[in-house]
Chains A and B, each alone.
Chain A
């Protein structure tokens, strides 16, 4: 705003008007408040939820191991997904129809089948393969191993989650790459850069602004998707909770324990994502959006009757 309003310049009298009333909002707020109080009362007092048990298991070593494994899985799957996904995106944009076709089929397959099916598939693969060997087909082999040693439980889960994630990351990365102006590749080529060098040094760094925010979403989603590993008996957070309640039959409190941990971890990621997006918006937005803390401070400063300070 270049010109301040006349009122701010003190040339004219400030407007004193009675703001529009919204009685409907107050009624709605009252109803919601009553419902929320009832819900809270039930949550806190109902014996079925057994909050004591929840507290007892929240920092139980078995549960903590589960939390650790969930974090480990999320990181491995996301790194795998991001690296493979960017590779697939570059392949899909290749001029070579075979290369882009391969990427297209990969994405089509891994997006088109449930991740749970893929998980169970990788988990069971070793038991149907008799042996794995590397060498000339029907000829001598230099490397020979039992598939059970090759695909451990952790590797099966990582393959299932990571390969699936790659298909989604590929689409995100492709959108990012396409968002970069064509003139950039042209300028890079004119300087003698190869397509690959231009991709790595010029296009991808600029594509990151578009790629990072949805990747944050994917990470939050992945954190919860890792719970599917419970189907192949991997000991992540939900698996750990299941193990405990199959012994003690305290199903609800242990599910609550797991949920508290999931909520805590997704909250941390959400906050992280918020600041990451803010960081990458730099240069693209003229004014950065306010952080929640800044908004709170503003609310406190709001003077009644006057315009919100800007």
Chain B
């Protein structure tokens, strides 16, 4: 089963064909097929343990897939194809590719020993070796954009969960990625803080960022999502536009899951 984003460009941003992943004997992904079109907001839902995080981590090669094909922007993840031979990428090349993919985590994972500004500046300065002044200017602009210009000098411990997650989004954007991965970005937040993070993501979507969002926020998926995929037990069970999947699910498993989260 293939899920196709609505804007349907010729060259998908992410393409998965029969992606398998197992940890030892435990098979977590059992042949995932999907396509994410550029500029789309692609929402991923599914019960706990269905492999959503694992799939997201495969996209930036934090996990190595066991079988199948996975490509980002037309290039294989983790391998280089020359003729009909596959060559594994070196660590350095893998790191290079990760720079183009931003990731936002459920538990923020900010660097606690750096200020908000330091967190945002760290990768451009240390990884891309950009001039500090240039990065400082961009980082300040990004913090401003997520509504935190007055918190630049605060350490993560001094920020609320919602503020931390917004810093984390700014940190990912500082590398000017072409794709953003969000792994349940609001599930660790108090209900009243969810909105401020979703607002930032909504703005990002409006600016045309390609986003894959694992979420249980059905309102967000319905309003902002271009495509919605329901995953269970390592396979894509149902895919389509958010409206279709949510209002008119075809599979029993989808119906069962939606009845619990809606």
Contact = CB atoms under 8 A, between A and B. Distances in A.
Nearest to B106: A183
A187 B105 CA distance: 8
A259 interface: no
Contacts of A194: 91-92, 95
Contacts of B102: 190
Contacts of B105: 183, 186-187
Given A197-B126, A201-B126, A283-B155, A191 B99 contact: yes
Contacts of B111: 184, 187-188, 202, 206
B62 A189 contact: yes
A201 B122 contact: yes
B175 interface: yes
Interface string A194-238: 110100011001100000000000000000000000000000000
B157 interface: yes
A118 B34 CA distance: 62
A194 B109 CA distance: 17
A189 B127 CA distance: 10
Contacts of B101: 190
A194 B94 CA distance: 9
Contacts of A265: none
Pick the most buried of A181, A191, A194, A205: most chain B CB atoms within 10 A of its CB. A191
Nearest to A208: B113
A192 B99 contact: yes
A193 interface: yes
Contact of B112 (A188, A189, A206): A206
A285 to B, nearest CB: 12
- Which secondary structure dominates chain A's binding surface? helix
Contact of A191 (B92, B107, B113, B122): B122
Contacts of A202: 111
Contacts of A195: 91
B157 A192 contact: no
Interface in B65-103: 91-92, 95-96, 98-99, 101-103
A190 B157 contact: no
13 contacts: A183-B105, A186-B109, A187-B103, A189-B95, A191-B98, A191-B122, A191-B123, A191-B127, A192-B95, A192-B175, A193-B126, A201-B122, A206-B111
B95 A190 contact: no
A139 B222 CA distance: 75
B163 interface: no
Interface of A: 181, 183-184, 186-195, 197, 201-202, 205-206, 283
A205 B111 CA distance: 10
B229 interface: no
B21 interface: no
What interface size band does chain B fall in?
A: 20 to 34
B180 to A, nearest CB: 11
A190 B59 CA distance: 11
Contacts of A190: 60, 62, 98, 101-103, 172
Nearest to A181: B109
A184 B122 CA distance: 13
A202 B99 CA distance: 17
B172 A191 contact: yes
* Cβ-closest 9 pairs across A and B: A192-B99, A187-B109, A191-B123, A190-B103, A183-B109, A192-B98, A192-B127, A192-B95, A205-B113
Given A192-B96, A194-B95, 10 more contacts: A187-B109, A190-B98, A190-B101, A190-B103, A191-B99, A191-B127, A191-B171, A193-B95, A193-B123, A195-B91
B127 A193 contact: yes
B127 A197 contact: yes
Nearest to A193: B127
Contacts of A201: 122, 126
Interface string B140-183: 00000000000000010100000000001001100100000000
A187 B171 CA distance: 10
Contacts of A197: 126-127
Given A186-B105, A187-B111, A206-B112, A283 B157 contact: yes
Contacts of B99: 191-192
Contacts of A206: 111-113
B100 to A, nearest CB: 8
Pick the most buried of A192, A194, A201: most chain B CB atoms within 10 A of its CB. A192
A283 B155 CA distance: 10
Contacts of B62: 186, 189-190
A191 B175 contact: yes
Contacts of B171: 191
Contacts of B126: 193, 197, 201
